[in-house]
Amino acid sequence: MKFVVKLGGAALEDPEMLHRCAQAVAELARDGHQVALVHGGGVQLTRTLKQMGKQSEFIAGLRVTDAVTRDTALMVLAGHVNKSLVASLGAHGQSAVGLSGGDGLIFRARKKRTAPDLGFVGEIVASDPRWLEAIWKMGSVPVLSSMALGFDGEYYNINADEMAAACAMSCNADALVFLTDVPGVRGADGDVLRWLNIDQIAVLAKDEVISGGMLPKLSACREALLHGVKRVRILPAAEAGVLSDLCSARITQGTEVMVA
């Protein structure tokens, strides 16, 4: 089976959590599954920008990205964070190849048209999964940072959830899993929703039950399901160990996002 796993948030900051997540991905690969790991790194990027004296600004969960922020994102995400994840998988005996979406022109982007303007924030418009397939044939795991090249030759900062969905759609993944630092999607009563129909997303957003980073995440879930990805789940990173049981056993953690 093909799995796309998106990792972000506190899991990238907590060594024990990162160890668990890397172990779970390595076990999936050893069981014969084809796994692509897509990662964010917003906390690390915000920290680096702060050290540089730059304040981070977000609109609807997306980072406003000027040229300096974009270049810093390339350094932090495609550099330090990406290679740290490759090292974590290697510590579990699993070979991995670190890439950005621009390498091999795997993903092509265009500027995201928004009001107000977000700068060098992009959206994926084309993909070529041949490099992913080649890495899988070698028994390795592609590790993708959320940067992609535009047709104008510029790098664009891509929301990592959107990148994960684009990756899952491109390679016809059987499952897309978001490993997060929250227990799942919470409803109006504050309880975690075990199941969430994509038709409910707009209502939850309108009522401001969901906001911030959950907005692009659920939008990415919706797009993936509408474009052929069979299963989409938002799962707390602390429960990454259940990944190997995702398609063969009853999983009670997190939120399953579904089409009616």
- Is 222 annotated among the ligand-binding residues? no
What residue spans of 8-150 are helical by DSSP H?
A: 15-30, 42-51, 67-75, 82-91, 130-137
Looking only at Cα atoms, what is the longest distance across the chain? 49
Q: Which run of H or E residues covers position 124?
A: strand 121-127
The DSSP output letter for 186 is B
Question: Is 157 within any annotated ligand binding site?
Answer: yes
Distance CA 99, CA 39 (A): 11
Radius of gyration of the chain (CA): 17
Spatial separation of the C-alpha atoms in residues 256 and 59, rounded to whole Å: 26
Is 42 assigned a ligand-binding role in the annotation? yes
**Residue 159 counted as an annotated binding residue:** no
Q: How many residues does the chain have?
A: 260
Q: Which residue, chain included where needed, has tokens 């059987």?
A: 174
Cα dist. 10→40, 59, 126, 159, 236 in Å? 11, 21, 30, 16, 10
169 DSSP 8-state letter: H
Residue ranges for the known binding site for substrate are: 41-42, 63, 157
Residue ranges for the known binding site are: 41-42, 63, 157
